[in-house]
Amino acid sequence: MTAVVYSAAPLNDLRAATVRTRVSVPLRFADGYAAPAEVMTFHGLTDGREHLLLGLGDWEQVLLDGARPPLVRLHSECMTGDVFGSERCDCGPQLREAVEAIASTGGFLLYLRQEGRGIGLYSKLDAYALQDQGLDTYDANLALGHGEDERDYAAAAQMLCALGATTVRLLTNNPDKAAQLAALGIVIEEQVPTGVHLSEANSRYLEAKRDRTGHTLELNRAAVVRPAKTVAGRTPGHAEVLARVDALVPGLRARAEETEQLRRLPAETVQELHEAGVYRLLAPVSVGGYGLGAATYGETVRHLARACASTAWTAGHLAEHAWMLARWPRKVQEEVFNSGLMPLAAATSAPVGSATRVAGGYTVSGHWSFASGIMHARWALLAVQLDGVRLQALVPVAELELLDAWHTDGLRGTGSNDLMADSLFVPGYRVMEWERLTAPDNPGSLIHPDPLIHMPMATLLNLVAPAVALGAAEYAQELFRNQLLVPREKNGTAVRQADAVLAQARYARTSGAVATAQLHWQAALSVLPTQPGSPDAMDEAQRAGFRLSLALSAEAAQDAVRLAVAGSGGSAHRLSHPLQRIQRDVGVVLNHPTLGTDPIMEQAGRGLLGLGFTAASF
């Protein structure tokens, strides 16, 4: 690789700095994530402090190519957060996140010796004491005779100029960093937000940063995340998982309308799903998952749908995508399974994007729709095509353009928005042939002993929509029953709809439709492997019966919802009534490709007749 000349003309009369030393340092964080870094020191920094610059990823090639500016993070020293893991701020998680993000694309992390927003360590701890008395982080600094933020980024601009990095993509939520660098002559081509690292201890601190200094922090989208609870390290079984999910149902029902209005899951819901271990259901035990079977997964989605179809849909796909990530090679798994929490990833293949091979990887372009769960995901799995070969690209969500396109009449809370990329560079190790990922002997099968890792992807994908439809229908039946049995006063007399013959008949028909849906659902689950994670493959007749039963279950569930709504009178069409939301949600579910009636009936008929499938994904 050609060496970079470490010199640049000073900008805006800024004194030139020069590289003093450059040394290789292998980094390793407490969660196991590792990355090589080139650590540089400097002569001539304007404030005389010992600031550091870490070159991460293929930063030299990025500077030489000039096609895309390096990703840069200005990180102010925080001993309490960076070293001791304090949760009173978000500095430690931001440092960890920044190293990974920059290493993946090439760029620099500037570690600036400006503790406590420039007031020093002791003063910062004094400010903590004042915060404990009720002041926010800025007022505490002012009370100590300091400024709200005394940091100066002239030295940062000097370091960047010394490397010739005068145009950058800046990784920050802080508008002051971008403004100061721009005033010093550094061109900010793009401001890339960091994640929102919310904890119980730092919520007031983050709110103050958002409200006082305009940090781009969407706290209503963030969850205070804690790992799923286990008993003495034991992986929960089928019954325990469903008991955890059932305990969530009252809260999910209470937030169902909020979920629809937000057009994504509320932060509290995301947190509860993490704590219940829902995202861990399918992932291998060796990466922190539960490695449970397809039946447990399907039943979990069904039980969640008895509370909120959007929540069930989103959680089901996020859990499945964590399992999909475990099918990738080791390097990817070391990158994504590194925080103790399941990585949340959205996946979309509609329509397929394009890929071009370049040095070190690929560039991908496309406009993808229906990215369910993208509002909560850190990663995106994107379908792309190169020379007629289907590939999947794994991309950090922060590198994609998110389009607010999910304006629908049903499943509104899934936040299934669109994604765009234009010639986005993706390292070669994060692009795989789809055929290899979906194969029983996928790369992950060589890493994990869990038999479930061999299961065809379509098996799990095909469970989600009918599970949501059935759970939602069971909730509709419950609502209909409760409505019929509630006494209402009419002409001074308490009456119940349930005492009317017509209401009784309508409820019987609704119950029959639900029972039909349940029987078809059980028929589908009966052909799945009996042991969790068993790799036993279904023969063609079983696969045909599996898909047919799921389709018929979903159709019967939709009939049940229609009957429940029709028998509930005009009040069921008020926007405040959950039945109308269930009807709209199930209507969208039945339009999903995995429940396309005509192709399912054709392929199922071929399988049952022994004629062989003509659709490879069936």
Task: Provide the 3-class DSSP secondary structure of residue 353.
Answer: strand
What CA–CA distance (Å, rounded) separates 457 from 64? 41
Among residues 443, 435, 223, the alpha carbon closest in space to that of 314 is found at: 223
DSSP E strand stretches across 228-294:
none
Q: To which residue do tokens 């008991």 refer?
A: 243
Q: Encode burial over 220-235: b for 16+ CB neighbours within 10 A, e otherwise.
A: ebbbbbeebeeeeeeb
Question: What span, in angstroms and rounded, lies between the C-alpha atoms of 378 and 368?
Answer: 16
Scanning the structure block, which residue is given the tokens 């509860």? 272
Distances (CA, A) of 456 to 16, 223, 250, 521: 59, 32, 34, 19
Residues labelled catalytic: 149, 151
Strand runs labelled E in 70-146: 71-76, 107-112
Contact call for residues 579 and 567 (beta carbons, < 8 A): no
Report DSSP state, residue 79. I
> Residue 398: what residue type?
A
Which residues on adjacent β-strands are paired with residue 488?
A: 495
The Cβ of residue 291 has, within 10 Å, a number of other Cβ atoms equal to 23
Q: Report which secondary-structure segment, H or E, holds 402.
A: strand 401-403
With beta carbons less than 8 A apart as the criterion, state whether 535 and 478 touch. no
**Residue 216: partners with Cβ closer than 8 Å, 6 or more residues away:** 173, 175, 193, 210
Q: Beta strand pairing status for 379-386 and 345-358? A: parallel
Q: Is the peptide bond before 351 cis (omega within 30 degrees of 0)?
A: yes
Supply 39's token pair.
Answer: 């650590």
> In 552-614, at which residue ranges do the beta strands (DSSP E only) sit?
none
State how far the Cα of 183 lies from the Cα of 247, in Å rounded to an integer.
Answer: 54
Alpha-carbon dihedral angle through residues 66, 68, 70, 74, given to the nearest 10 degrees: 130
Strands 167-171 and 187-192: parallel
Return the structure tokens found at 249: 């149902």
> b vs e for 198-209, b when ≥16 Cβ sit within 10 Å of the residue's Cβ?
bbeebeebbbbb
CA quadruple 324, 329, 330, 335: dihedral positive or negative?
negative
Query: Nearest 5°: CA angle at 301, between 297 and 305?
Result: 170
Whether the Cβ atoms of residue 56 and residue 35 lie closer than 8 Å to each other = yes
Structure tokens at 331: 């390097």
